[in-house]
Amino acid sequence: MTLTVAQIDRDTDQLVGEWLPLSEVAKKLQLSIGRAKQLIKDKKLVGARRGGGEPQIPAVFIAGDDVIKGLPGTLTVLADAGYSEVESIRWLFTPDESLPGAPIDAIKAGRHTEVKRRAQALGF
């Protein structure tokens, strides 16, 4: 089974800032590379190709040795709303004055339920 990861566009790449190669994510999460790829397949993480090489994950998605709380559920809701991996990344990192800040900042601050509600509204 092949892992398909979209190529990132320059604007979205710049929104994210810091990225981690999937192999580094696997190390931080204390997982095999195969299990880290499975997290992407299961929509627990999203990544993108930046240039060549292995998929990369926004660094902020990882806190210590775990995926930040609330991110997997939000990614599932975005996927259910028809968002691609790149569209999900762009949505998470685009500032929203009503939050305030970007959805990813609200998730990091523990306000993932609010972000999930907003993501659910996208599908309707």
User: Taking Cα atoms as reference points, which of 46, 25, 31, 33 lies closest to residue 90?
Assistant: 46
Mean pLDDT by 10 residues, the chain (124 residues): 68 90 96 94 90 89 95 95 93 90 95 92 73
Residue-level pLDDT at 14: 87
Q: What whole-number distance in Å separates Cα of residue 11 and Cα of residue 28?
A: 27
Q: Which two tokens stand for residue 50?
A: 């930046």
pTM given for the model: 0.89
Q: What whole-number distance in Å separates Cα of residue 51 and Cα of residue 53?
A: 7
Between vectors from CA 101 to CA 89 and to CA 105, what angle results, nearest 5°?
60
Residue-level pLDDT at 2: 53
